[in-house]
């Protein structure tokens, strides 16, 4: 994909400059988002809802209650989210979701 090539090139160029700051980070985020857009199995709407709540302090039963689904459904969605994002923990999933722009930082 042409856009991925452009972001890789921009990232390499910006890495040469110590004062690139936010431009380098935004270029990296864009590249990761572009990589995600080509995933074979994107997150479902239900998985995205669960992912947003993973960024909170809510437990699985609390997430289930909030979304009016069973605790087992939450666990199933979490497994799928971890697989699709290539992570093993809740913290990693939330960090990856921030990187990809699926959820936004509270600050």
Q: What is the pLDDT of residues 45-72, one digit of tens each?
A: 999 999 999 999 999 999 999 999 999 9
pLDDT at 78 over 90: yes
Backbone dihedral region for residue 32 (phi beyond 0: left; psi -120 to 50: alpha; all else: beta) = alpha
pLDDT score at 15: 82
Q: Is-contact 38 102, C-beta < 8 A?
A: no
Q: Could you say which of 3.30.300.20, 1.10.10.10, 1.10.760.10, 1.10.3720.10 is the CATH number of the domain covering 45-100?
A: 1.10.10.10
pTM over the 0.75 mark: no
- Which among 48, 86, 91 has a CA at the least distance from the CA of 67? 48
Over residues 75-101, the mean pLDDT reads 90
| Residue spans in the chain of domains classed CATH 1.10.10.10 | 45-100
């Amino acid at each position: 994909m042409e856009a991925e090539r452009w972001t890789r090139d921009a990232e390499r160029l910006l890495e040469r400059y110590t004062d690139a700051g936010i431009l380098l980070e935004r270029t990296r985020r864009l590249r990761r988002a572009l990589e995600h857009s080509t995933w074979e199995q994107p997150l479902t709407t239900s998985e995205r809802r669960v992912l947003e709540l993973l960024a909170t302090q809510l437990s699985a039963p609390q997430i289930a209650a909030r979304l009016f689904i069973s605790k087992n459904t939450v666990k199933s969605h979490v497994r799928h989210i971890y697989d699709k994002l290539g992570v093993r923990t809740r913290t990693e999933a939330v960090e990856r979701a921030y990187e990809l722009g699926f959820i936004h930082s509270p600050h």
